[in-house]
Structure 1
Amino acid sequence: MIHKVHKRYFLCSHANWNAQVDVQEWRNNMCGIVGYVGRRDCADVLINALTKLEYRGYDSAGIAVFENNAIRVEKSKGRLQNLVDKMKIDGKPQGHVGIGHTRWATHGEPSDINSHPHGNKRVTIVHNGIIENYKQIKDFLIKEGYSFVSETDTETVAKLLDYYYNGNPIETIARVIAEIKGSYALGIMFRDYPDAIFAVRKECPLIAGVGEGENFIASDVPAILQYTRNYYLLEQNEIAIVKEDSIKICDIHGMEINKELQTADWDEDAAEKGGYEHFMLKEIHEQPTAVRTTITPRIVNGMPDFASDGIDINKLSSYRQIFIVACGTAMHAGMVGKYVIEKMARVSVTVDIASEFRYRDPLITDKDLVIVISQSGETADTLAVLKLAKEMKAATLAVVNVKGSSIAREADHVIYTHAGPEISVASTKAYMVQVAVMYLIAFALSRETGHITDAQCAEFTEKLKNIPAVIEEAIGLKDRCQFAASKLLNAESLLYIGRGLDYALSMEGSLKLKEISYIHSESYAAGELKHGTISLITEGMPVIAVATQKSIVEKTISNIKEVKARGAMVILVCGKDIEVEDNVADIIIRLPEADEVLMPMVAAVPLQLIAYYTAVLKGCDVDKPRNLAKSVTVE
């Protein structure tokens, strides 16, 4: 019996397990899954829903629909449109119950065979996540007479469901999830239940959408907004039974669970491009509104106020030190937070990459505060850090965009940003609102610790309230940014440089460029150039310099002159009142006026636009850069 195999192999010690895992399997992954039960044409609903989730993966797409008492599967390598074109030839599945998937490949190359859904005549599934012990399961099932056609971990789950199937889907699902290790969101169809789909999750996000005479499952809310704004959030290992007129959610013992119905506070139009060529450009333009929406509820009587978030700023100021932990763009927002909190509040702040923090045995105690930042609230490494911090009795505060997400539910306190849906893989407005929250925290801490007066705090807060208008003005620099981008098309490599807050911002600018234009780009503290990096400068090599901090601008200009003297083509992003000699830079982008402490929010805009227009001019797929997914829900 597989239960014996489970005891022998699957419940091995963590150390032994690590020894058995193929390290190539530990790759970041995110797919999108949907399901529908209702009276509409199921294939059409699934395809429409998947168009809203294709940002989660675009290596393949597929659907499975109950048709003539059988489960019919259609799937295809590549973009969703390939599947649509294939069904024009094969014929579209006809039915009213089905599941769908868009894939970001991990186990097995992108191919028709490795595409989801997977299964057999009795059970068919779609899956987001990684099954860590799939090799052991697969070996067992092969001995039991099962054969496999794909290289995926997902097929093992489908076959394991079939192996255990006893006519009772809930019992079967419960047995399977007791065996599998890893992260998953599963949409499941049993041939014996042609009027229902089943769903279960662990770590990976999944919702059950509530319609009128129809119901859904989906990885993300935008998939179902065309049909409903109401949904249930599935918790870990809760099982949903979705039928046309009901959604039942139960635990692994089959006991029904009463859930609170959630309502999305943004509509379908918010998840569409709104006339812009790309989601990224739309989201850049949405930044003033997003910042305004995020900060306004947290400014009371002209002062930062987190009472509505249930946060006592006095308690927040009492911790020995603050750790800000995040990944990618969110980590860069944390870097800005570090500079501002330390400078203004004189509180020690350590910023760390989540994937490094959790493995370096960090020195955190119950006297420390750990702030985690994540747009999705599902980032696997960040979630793991949060759990580690709680185990070590540290206080935890999450800054997230998605309500009810895993990180939001785990943290002691949550500050929700109000960016709305961010579809483009390259984050812009989520970064901007994260930075805005960092400023509010910095101002509140500075006032509470007595490092600024009430009058000064009110002044800084008022300037932050006005920053959306300045961001709007910065967006007006797009023509100048497009011209700068045109000079980068033939570059094989370039550098971003800055000091202090400008260095933190340069890190984000560099990431934006590389992730959507595929040009190799690195960010360096300008003062480090002479310690090795300047040897990389060759004739015509682009260097993008940021200089907004008046107290150190002369030193930054000196560094710019050093690279210029060695043949670099310099693009300088600087404040309007920064004095620059004519020969210092080839292109100068002058920013609208703002307090220099807030300049990262202003200077971020032209860096986003330079990255955007460079990718567009190169013909890259801006919203769906290769090898990347929107949020990383497994390690």
Structure 2
Amino acid sequence: MCGIVGAVGTTDVVGVLVQGLQRLEYRGYDSCGLAVHQGAPLADAAGRMAPVEAAARGLARARSTARVAELRAQVQAEGLRAATGIAHTRWATHGAPTTANAHPHVSHGPGVRAGERPARVALVHNGIIENHEALRAELQARGYVFESQTDTEVIAHLIDSLYDGDLLEAVRAATARLHGAYAIAVLHHDEPQRLVGARAGSPLVLGLGTAADGPAAHYVASDALALAGVTDRIVFLAEGDLVDVALGRYRIVGADGRALDSAARPVRTVQVGSQDVALGPYRHYMQKEIFEQPRALADTLEGVAGIVPELFDDHGIRSRAAWRVFAEIDRVLILACGTSHYAGCVARYWLEAIAGVPTVVEIASEYRYRTSVADPRTLVVVVSQSGETADTLAALRHAQALGMRQTLAICNVATSAMVRECELAYVTRAGAEIGVASTKAFTTQLAALFLLTLVLAQAKGRLTAEDEARHLRALRHLPAALQAVLALEPQVIRWAEDFAGKEHALFLGRGPHYPIALEGALKLKEISYIHAEGYPAGELKHGPLALVTGAMPVVTVAPNDALLEKLKSNMQEVRARGGVLYVLADADTRIASGEGLHVIRMPEHYGDLSPILHAVPLQLLAYHTACLRGTDVDKPRNLAKSVTVE
């Protein structure tokens, strides 16, 4: 969940490090920092190498508990310049968000406190080290002094204790003793133009620079997004890999120390342009991403000319595997977390009603910690925006270990671990999503899951040519339908003015709109900090109705479907107790505004795809309520975007 950037070059890399952190800040913003090695010569504007001053030949560090912008000002004020460095933005796990706990962490050697002599090792880390307490006790017994509460500092001291002139070998020996998940980047005082990275359970990529004159600069990062505008030549490191980066060269080795060639770890061109992360005219990334949904859906559905299994066969690359998989499966298991889990819950209604395939949706973080009954004729579907979600990846691997080998990833990142580890994949094209509260990733996941439903319906002989044509027309019309929903924003803002002063809210839905109610409640609580809960409307009388008063708004998703009349009865239960209703109603539902009843009319009833449309005004409601309450919309407290730790 934290962000890592590192670089080795001949010119000043501090600006690249800070810029990379700003692009990764959505992954963690409890604190940030960088460490640079000032022992390497720096090229001036004319390419001439400036001599290194004797007083500035070691590791220098800057850290802040403010945002990356403050760190930038700090390093500029201190005049930090260097050709080699590492940087980090943190989501706190072990230890509070304090300067002492901020990365990079350093080791000065046994028996030495900070400030008594220059640091020998500097390190940044994403992940959790599960055996840190035992390692800490061992290192303390050997004289190492700990300055922080973090598990990360253990790694820095462990590498120092194992260092014998070769940083790569020290890192390899240290990682062999770590239990848990990590992506690390390490510098050593004695090797000024060298950086070593390693990964297990947390992502890390290598970025290759080009050089017009002299050796090329090379980079490491926890996400290729950090290197947008710097390089698009990316090597994705695999589980257990170590990367040795020096001036103008790099080497990748496995955990056993054997070198891996370019065939094993190919260089890929990854198009992540600066425009993808530019805010443009919008106030926040979340607002930008809400309004990008028509385009994101159009891109995700681009080229879908018919409902065929190859849609999930990596665009036909994987030798017709999808035909075999869809023919063999009898049921579906969806594994996901958070918003992606709610997308899976909507898909369950589609898969069972349209395709006739029994479907179970599991919270990935719970699935592998219970005894479950494996069925090899199950299609395991993992859903994730980043494709690096630790709990979902672990659940996928657990299902595979149980013998369920038919796997499909629905993901927004084509190069992610999840896509690489699944037999089949559908890559959505939402584009970079920076706001922590997911919006366009959610609606594009729903579109992909609806396509999966139709493909399985076809495989089971339940999709007629007429049905296929009707569904394709509806899918193609989705971007235009969403534009009409976005035009409701002024009415949603009026609702937000009511919500801004509240501390609790209920969200109600029935059928496939119940998960949309859950998602609406999640959005509101994530960014406005209003306590909100989603319920099936029929469950009101089984407990939640006790909470209903005029002080608790009740949001109701009211499409014109088979459950409408029952939903109206549930709404009357709220009104009879003095509750105030806020209803998203289809035009033909005959629900009119009145005392204690506020109605926004949706532009059209959208049948099976109605949940996608109803999600959008709930996103707008959360966004504008948060703006009115003055919260940090894109970076809500205690949260981060890509959850790469358990």
Q: TM-score range, shorter-chain basis? A: over 0.9
**Structure 2 SS opposite 1:53:** helix
Q: In the alignment, does 2:260 pair up with 1:257?
A: yes
**2:145 aligned partner:** 147
**2:359 aligned partner:** 349
**1:285 aligned partner:** 291
Q: In the alignment, does 2:218 pair up with 1:218?
A: no
**1:47 aligned partner:** 18
What whole-Å deviation, never above 9, does each CA across 1:243-293 have from its counterpart, x for those lacking one?
A: 332222122344321221111233111012122111111111111111111
The residue type paired with residue 226 of structure 1 is: G
- Aligned partners of 2:498, 2:553: CA distance in 1, in Å? 8
Contact 2:310 2:323 in 1 (8 A): no
**1:10 aligned partner:** none
- Aligned partners of 2:128, 2:330: CA distance in 1, in Å? 38
Identical residues among aligned pairs (%): 40
Give 1:401 shift.
1.2
Farther-moved stretch of structure 1 (582-591 vs 470-479) = 582-591
Contact 2:435 2:635 in 1 (8 A): yes
**1:451 aligned partner:** 462
**1:23 aligned partner:** none
**2:34 aligned partner:** 63
**1:229 aligned partner:** 232
- Aligned partners of 2:469, 2:328: CA distance in 1, in Å? 22
TM-score by length of 1: 0.92
1:403-442 paired onto structure 2 within 5 Å: 403-442=414-453
Contact 2:309 2:323 in 1 (8 A): no
Give 1:44 shift.
1.6
- Aligned partners of 2:251, 2:288: CA distance in 1, in Å? 38
Contact 1:302 1:461 in 2 (8 A): no
* 1:541 aligns with one of 547, 552, 565: 552
- Aligned partners of 2:14, 2:550: CA distance in 1, in Å? 56
Give 1:141 shift.
0.7
- Aligned partners of 1:427, 1:253: CA distance in 2, in Å? 39
Contact 1:171 1:252 in 2 (8 A): no
Contact 2:336 2:363 in 1 (8 A): yes
- Aligned partners of 1:279, 1:221: CA distance in 2, in Å? 19
**Structure 2 SS opposite 1:334:** helix
- Aligned partners of 1:325, 1:410: CA distance in 2, in Å? 14
Structure 1 residues 301, 615: CA separation in 2 closer, same or farther (over 3 Å shift)? closer
**Structure 2 SS opposite 1:113:** coil
- Aligned partners of 1:485, 1:355: CA distance in 2, in Å? 33
1:265-280 paired onto structure 2 within 5 Å: 265-280=271-286
- Aligned partners of 2:403, 2:560: CA distance in 1, in Å? 38
What whole-Å deviation, never above 9, does each CA across 1:75-124 have from its counterpart, x for those lacking one?
A: 122222332333354x1322111000111111111111111111132211
What whole-Å deviation, never above 9, does each CA across 1:534-585 have from its counterpart, x for those lacking one?
A: 1110123200000114211111111112102211121101212221144386
**2:99 aligned partner:** 112
Q: In the alignment, does 2:493 pair up with 1:490?
A: no
The residue type paired with residue 550 of structure 1 is: D
- Aligned partners of 1:504, 1:153: CA distance in 2, in Å? 37
* 1:621 aligns with one of 613, 632, 635: 632
**Structure 2 SS opposite 1:599:** helix
The residue type paired with residue 456 of structure 2 is: L
**Structure 1 SS opposite 2:625:** helix
Q: In the alignment, does 2:532 pair up with 1:532?
A: no
Q: Which runs of 5+ in 2 are unaligned?
A: 39-55, 108-118, 211-215
- Aligned partners of 2:158, 2:36: CA distance in 1, in Å? 21
Structure 1 residues 45, 314: CA separation in 2 closer, same or farther (over 3 Å shift)? closer
**1:14 aligned partner:** none
Give 1:143 shift.
0.8
**1:101 aligned partner:** 88
- Aligned partners of 1:326, 1:454: CA distance in 2, in Å? 32
Contact 2:354 2:454 in 1 (8 A): yes
- Aligned partners of 1:438, 1:156: CA distance in 2, in Å? 43
- Aligned partners of 1:365, 1:576: CA distance in 2, in Å? 44
- Aligned partners of 1:466, 1:589: CA distance in 2, in Å? 21
Structure 1 residues 317, 485: CA separation in 2 closer, same or farther (over 3 Å shift)? farther
The residue type paired with residue 496 of structure 2 is: A
- Aligned partners of 1:88, 1:263: CA distance in 2, in Å? 33
Q: In the alignment, does 2:373 pair up with 1:358?
A: no
**Structure 1 SS opposite 2:303:** helix
**1:35 aligned partner:** 6
- Aligned partners of 1:625, 1:433: CA distance in 2, in Å? 23
Give aligned pairs, total: 605
The residue type paired with residue 438 of structure 1 is: L
The residue type paired with residue 521 of structure 2 is: S
The residue type paired with residue 57 of structure 2 is: N
RMSD: 1.7
Q: Which runs of 5+ in 1 are unaligned?
A: 1-29
- Aligned partners of 2:146, 2:332: CA distance in 1, in Å? 50
TM-score by length of 2: 0.91
**1:123 aligned partner:** 121
